[in-house]
Structure 1
């Protein structure tokens, strides 16, 4: 497989959208043959997995399904560069100074949360990064249609970009922002990462001081900021707002758009599949199907008909060679539409039910409310040493119930002590000083209504998601 350059990727991306469905399908098939062949030859894991798979792949169903658990269990055999080992990557990740730096000078490394119980360590090569960037610039940006007045506001605001997400770890958004600021130092004055872990008063104060004209973040964080904007404490005037990392509901989009008086765009992807989708001018998500294969499946990994909501989804990343992601199980529920989008794009429309955790609302001693972002408190919990999996449930305005499982059952008491202390300290730092953190005897389990695993949710009857 050849290294992908920016000029080649730009030219190909422009051409693909203009040459029609047959040309996109031909690209997809050629790239599937290439990545499957490369994985078979350079990855010991895929070499074994594809031992009985034909050399020529006529349809993707001939390839076995892969899971995060199995791939991570065989990390050193999964990667295609034998100089990459899990021991060395984990040592790299353990050093906070490594955030924003490339492993071995040629791979971006990130980690995922343990929302499904198994965190992943993921590497992306430079060719893949080129593809991700080009897809964003060529397909995502044109859908954001700004008036001359809004364009002037961007210029007047010196293109200040605020990203509100979990900071301090090797999460993809944090890594990419740190990498961008390290390699392009001039951006340090105009782009900043704001921690979603921070107390809301501190976050509002810092955003007001920075005065961003572009804001990106989790829908739950943006929803909270929109409420602060309506209350008058947040005084920023963004021209563009982008949501990612969680499912953006129609109600959230309306609230955020109304509060800030600007367009709200949406993105669906994952750390394994960066650049998976783009949103069109009609606010519909389209799959970049020349570089990704998306298969909506049932509980037995069998395909579901177009338009029907799946139980899961298999994703194939055709760009990344260092860690091939081929027919990889994601926990999201999706529906691929067969009808073309009225926007005119030839790329398929996808509806997504992804991460749907709740914002938790606790009472403050003063009588007010403390809003706790789900990804923020989940990150605090997941970083507890020895924790395998946990679930956080609000059952009263002043109680947080925790279901947990330790990696080593013999150390469960110690892990619980550390976990409860971390959660109590985090909630107290936010101002929720009277919340009781209690442990449930139940293990983490599927949500009784949705049948899916939800890591952070509220059972209070009048909760508004």
Structure 2
């Protein structure tokens, strides 16, 4: 197997902005039809037994193997090496795919030769508009996710709509245009903001007025704008929602949403109930990932979180899950490792033949706070740190020292020249200065340290993006 694979190696938005322009080059008809057809199949699935559901899904997995994997040199080599029969195979016949393997074999995993890792990195370095598509055809995203390693993911427009169809479970028919706000990291090709802007493209603009409010904007500016806009739907991260909820309780924020959507961080049942009380509306807990889009939903009153695995096959380990993605044909992901902790229950979902997991999943990062020049405390969202993208940097971590300083630790690609290493470190410093300046925290001091690797927390075995008190895990 190793021999077979060896042959294959060959500007930030600070104010709320509508990001709803249709992608250039080509019409939206085929992606829209894909979205509708997928959503209709999901509705049919809700009436199947679990046995029928899994049998139909296995057939679609085998169709993916039969028609898509031969276009991937990486998977073609695996199938030859292992003697995998497309008509009889299951995901367990394939090896685990880690983020590091994906990075190393990116060009041979993808099925469209126009998509290369170098070209995607250059595109993501240049483009900060989540509505812009690579070559006008592909959604390109990046994240460090739960492992702390930078990953790149590419979807065709039809791939994207197949995955996006799961989000239709959140929408309800309305007789007026729905005002929606996404409060999160917005100045790049990140998962949450990319999902948000898709809602108001094409025909969606007649039904949704979507604005993206950067979580790194000064809190006073965000509060004033939200009071003026008065969103019907407030989406984002629980850490951001809790900060807004405090503003609401103290009377500085005065909004009346009809729904709060919380994702990307664990949301406890207590926080879910508290946010619902503060804002006077249901708070819905979402579980998703950049590479697999929406996976789970927990509405108020649900005993657990329903995993809608229509387009996914999940294998659960003690400290991770393996995700097989059925909607992505451009970048096939079979048994892709995600370092989230998921625990299945024996509960029956009220929404169909779907498994139910405990609601608290993933990792919960500590939120660093710093004092500005006026002596006021403000925060930097871990999600903004998480979405830092600098070519040549494959892992990073913030080590908070006090309310006026921190260290930023980075791991660089081993193949960088001396000048490229200097350029990468300079780019990291420039990006951090940009983030701090945007937040009004330009007085905060920091340094950048280069290390070979960053150890996980020895107590939990998990990677931590932000360390309080400057503590460093032992290697």
Superposed pair shares fold, TM > 0.5: yes
Structure 2 CA distance for partners of 1:201 and 1:457, relative to 1, 3 Å: farther
Match of 1:435 among 444, 449, 456: 444
Does the CA-based 8 Å contact 2:74-2:109 persist in structure 1? yes
1:335 matches 2:354? no
Query: Distance between the aligned counterparts of 1:68 and 1:401, measured in 2?
Result: 25
Structure 2 CA distance for partners of 1:88 and 1:98, relative to 1, 3 Å: farther
Deviates more, 1:55-64 or 1:215-224: 55-64
Structure 2 CA distance for partners of 1:24 and 1:186, relative to 1, 3 Å: closer
- Look up the SS of the partner of 1:9 in the other structure: helix
- TM-score by length of structure 2 reads 0.80
Name the counterpart of 1:350: 357
- Look up the SS of the partner of 1:246 in the other structure: coil
Name the counterpart of 2:306: 286
Match of 2:61 among 32, 38, 47: 32
1:458 matches 2:464? no
Name the counterpart of 1:108: 139
How far does residue 342 in structure 1 lie from its aligned partner after superposition? 6.1
How far does residue 45 in structure 1 lie from its aligned partner after superposition? 0.9
How far does residue 238 in structure 1 lie from its aligned partner after superposition? 0.9
- TM-score by length of structure 1 reads 0.82
Does the CA-based 8 Å contact 2:50-2:353 persist in structure 1? yes
Query: Distance between the aligned counterparts of 2:206 and 2:229, measured in 1?
Result: 14
Deviates more, 1:420-429 or 1:392-401: 420-429
Does the CA-based 8 Å contact 2:110-2:331 persist in structure 1? yes
Q: Give unmatched runs, 5+ long, in structure 1.
A: 143-150, 298-309
Structure 2 CA distance for partners of 1:447 and 1:395, relative to 1, 3 Å: farther
Task: Map 1:7-406; keep pairs closer than 5 Å.
Answer: 8-51=37-80, 52-55=82-85, 56-57=87-88, 59-96=90-127, 99-113=130-144, 116-137=147-168, 139-141=169-171, 158-184=177-203, 186=205, 190-280=209-299, 282-283=301-302, 284-297=304-317, 310-337=318-345, 339-341=346-348, 343=350, 345-351=352-358, 352-379=360-387, 382-384=388-390, 386-406=392-412
Q: CA RMSD in A?
A: 3.2
1:446 matches 2:456? yes
Query: Distance between the aligned counterparts of 1:234 and 1:184, measured in 2?
Result: 32
Query: Alpha-carbon deviations, 1:80-121, whole Å to 9, x = none?
Result: 223433444444444438642444454322222376343222
Query: Distance between the aligned counterparts of 1:371 and 1:292, measured in 2?
Result: 35
Query: Distance between the aligned counterparts of 2:431 and 2:122, measured in 1?
Result: 24
Structure 2 CA distance for partners of 1:460 and 1:259, relative to 1, 3 Å: farther
How far does residue 257 in structure 1 lie from its aligned partner after superposition? 2.1
How far does residue 389 in structure 1 lie from its aligned partner after superposition? 2.0
- Look up the SS of the partner of 1:37 in the other structure: helix
Q: Give unmatched runs, 5+ long, in structure 2.
A: 1-29
- Look up the SS of the partner of 2:294 in the other structure: coil
Query: Distance between the aligned counterparts of 2:125 and 2:378, measured in 1?
Result: 32
Structure 2 CA distance for partners of 1:103 and 1:394, relative to 1, 3 Å: closer
Query: Distance between the aligned counterparts of 2:357 and 2:45, measured in 1?
Result: 19
Does the CA-based 8 Å contact 2:232-2:258 persist in structure 1? yes
